[in-house]
Copies of this chain bind each other. A is one copy, B any other.
């Protein structure tokens, strides 16, 4: 069964975007370097992690807010070259989008179910803060992969926010590159 992995770049103070993020400014103010390990100046170790993520991911889940901000940037193939994307939303958009995108109106658990079917034996990637914060307390997240970038954003969208109860993790991997500290954790125990 496909593992569900939250996979996000974060600033040291835990933000996934800076303030004033929008369709025109998808990363938000001050967050230009947040994705340097992917786009701008990756080292060989960064590239290997990115390739591994690309190769292992069979479906992506994201929230409507992330989708609206990022779809222009990604275009018709989505963030991962044709990997199906399930967008959790309250209402189907009226605009038509490419077939890579499926809109799910009955919650994150349903989106995860559909994404797991689509992913087969590959991984389901949770992209964005909202879907992770919804899925984690439901016990639906298997791993959390963060790429901690040497930057304090000071404001913006926090990856974890206030989850409300403690969750025990186990660090599964740590890769230190000049651009980021890549930390992978298994979710051990979710206190309901």
A binding-site residues for B, Cβ under 8 Å: 12-14, 18, 29-31, 33, 136, 144, 146, 148, 150-155, 159-171, 174, 176, 178, 181, 183, 185, 191
Chain B residues lying within 8 Å of A165, measured Cβ to Cβ, are 30, 154-155
Given A14-B13, A14-B160, A174-B176, A154-B181 contact (CB < 8 Å)? no
Please give the distance in Å from A38's CB to the nearest CB on chain B.
Answer: 17
A160 with B152: CB separation less than 8 A: yes
B181 with A152: CB separation less than 8 A: no
Oligomer: number of copies: 2
A167 with B151: CB separation less than 8 A: yes
Chain B residues lying within 8 Å of A136, measured Cβ to Cβ, are 152
Option from B152, B160, B169, B191 in Cβ contact (under 8 Å) with A166: B152
B151 with A12: CB separation less than 8 A: no
Given A14-B13, A181-B171, A154-B150 contact (CB < 8 Å)? no
B183 with A168: CB separation less than 8 A: no
Please give the distance in Å from A30's CB to the nearest CB on chain B.
Answer: 3
